[in-house]
């Protein structure tokens, strides 16, 4: 399917500011291909496009004081998202590839070490593999309430496990933490999501089973129709949409994902 994705945001900067922007999907991925794209920003004296340590596209700006805004749009060919098969096998620790090992250990927002006891009590006796990951996602979907404004940049997976409330970022952090506590590599994905209501940037999870990464989204009972990934990392700290090195005031943001007729 062909998707039209777009995003826009506006900030007020009191002084010249270094900005990292991560809104552009990789040109080619496992399940998508960018056909064309366009990024427009307010005038900046310098801009570069780099890849970070996870190979995510990362736009770097030096933005002058005043109003800073960006508008990004792209046409993307995306494969339909698929349900995680129950029969996918887990990997023994010595079978996990070196590049995946970083996704088996605790990180800033995903303290799998603090949640090991809960993970083992709830999921430790379940059959290993895709069915266990699906059971974790269902547990989170049933136990947590999705509600805007109930968490912030300081909220971590342990907080979410305690409060049982949050947004997609929090659902993803808890799913990742439970999987890592059980020895399953799991990573955080920021991206665009078709038929997300209300439209916004979306956070979901990829787990490494059966020799491949597979999408899992605990915020939805069923299968999301399509994702366009922007960036992957250990948790939200690695894939922030915008990182501003200085004071700023957020003004507005909008995101749109539509299927092309």
Q: Which residues 6+ apart lie within 8 Å of 41 measured at CB? A: 47, 61, 63, 68, 69, 70, 71
Flag whether pLDDT at 166 surpasses 90.
yes
Say whether pLDDT at 150 is over 90: no
Identify the CA nearest to 184 among candidates 123, 239, 124, 129.
129
Report how far residue 158's alpha carbon sits from residue 110's, in angstroms, rounded to the nearest whole number.
8
Q: What is the DSSP letter of 101?
A: G
What would the pLDDT profile of 62-85 be if each residue is shown by its tens digit? 999 999 999 999 999 999 999 999
Residue among 194, 224, 230, 196 at smallest CA distance from 4 = 194
Residue 46: band (very low, low, confident or very high) from pLDDT cuts 50, 70, 90:
confident
Instruction: Give pLDDT, residue 130.
Output: 98
Contacts of 86 (CB under 8 A, 6+ apart): 129, 130, 131, 134
Sheet architecture: strand order including 202-209: 212-216, 202-209, 186-193, 227-233
Write phi, then psi, for 5 (nearest 5 degrees): -115, 145
Predicted local distance difference test score (pLDDT) of residue 149: 86
Grouping H, G, I as helix, E, B as strand and the rest as coil, residue 147 is: coil
Cα–Cα distance measured from residue 42 to residue 21, given in angstroms and rounded to the nearest whole number: 13
Predicted pLDDT of residue 226: 98
**pLDDT by residue (tens digit) across 9-43?**
999 999 999 999 999 999 999 999 999 999 999 99
The pLDDT of residue 261 is above 80: no
How confident is the model over 244-256, as a mean pLDDT? Answer: 96
Whether the pLDDT of residue 159 is over 80: the answer is yes
CA 184 to chain centre: 17
Q: Tens digit of pLDDT for each residue in 198-219?
A: 999 999 999 999 999 999 999 9
Residue 253: predicted pLDDT: 96
Q: CA separation (Å) from 25 to 2, 116, 190, 208, 242? A: 14, 33, 10, 21, 14
Q: What is the mean pLDDT of residues 109-113?
A: 98
Secondary structure (3-state) at 36: strand
Q: Residue 25's pLDDT is what?
A: 98
Question: Which pLDDT belongs to residue 45?
Answer: 87
């Amino acid at each position: 399917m062909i998707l039209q994705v777009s995003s826009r945001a506006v900030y007020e900067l009191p002084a010249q500011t270094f900005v990292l922007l991560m809104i552009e999907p990789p040109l080619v991925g496992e399940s998508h291909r960018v056909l064309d794209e366009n990024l427009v920003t307010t005038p900046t004296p310098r801009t570069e496009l780099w890849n970070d340590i996870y190979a995510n596209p990362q736009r770097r700006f030096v933005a002058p004081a005043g109003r800073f805004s960006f508008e990004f749009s792209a046409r993307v060919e995306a494969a339909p998202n698929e349900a995680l098969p129950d029969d996918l096998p887990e990997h023994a620790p010595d079978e996990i590839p070196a590049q995946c090992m970083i996704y088996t250990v605790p990180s800033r927002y995903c303290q799998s070490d603090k949640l090991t006891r809960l993970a083992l009590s709830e999921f430790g006796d379940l059959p290993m593999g895709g069915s266990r990951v699906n059971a974790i996602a269902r547990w989170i979907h049933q136990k947590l309430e999705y509600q805007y404004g109930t968490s912030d940049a300081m909220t971590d997976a342990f907080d979410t496990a305690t409060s049982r409330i949050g947004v997609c970022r929090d659902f993803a952090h808890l799913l990742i933490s439970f999987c890592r506590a059980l020895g399953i590599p799991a990573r955080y994905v920021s991206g665009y999501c078709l038929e997300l209501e209300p439209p916004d940037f979306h956070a979901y999870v990829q787990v490494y089973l059966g020799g491949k990464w597979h999408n899992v989204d605990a915020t939805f009972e069923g299968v999301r129709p399509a994702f366009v990934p922007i960036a992957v990392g250990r948790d939200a700290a690695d894939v922030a949409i915008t990182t501003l090195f200085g004071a700023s005031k957020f003004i507005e943001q909008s995101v749109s994902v539509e299927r092309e007729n």
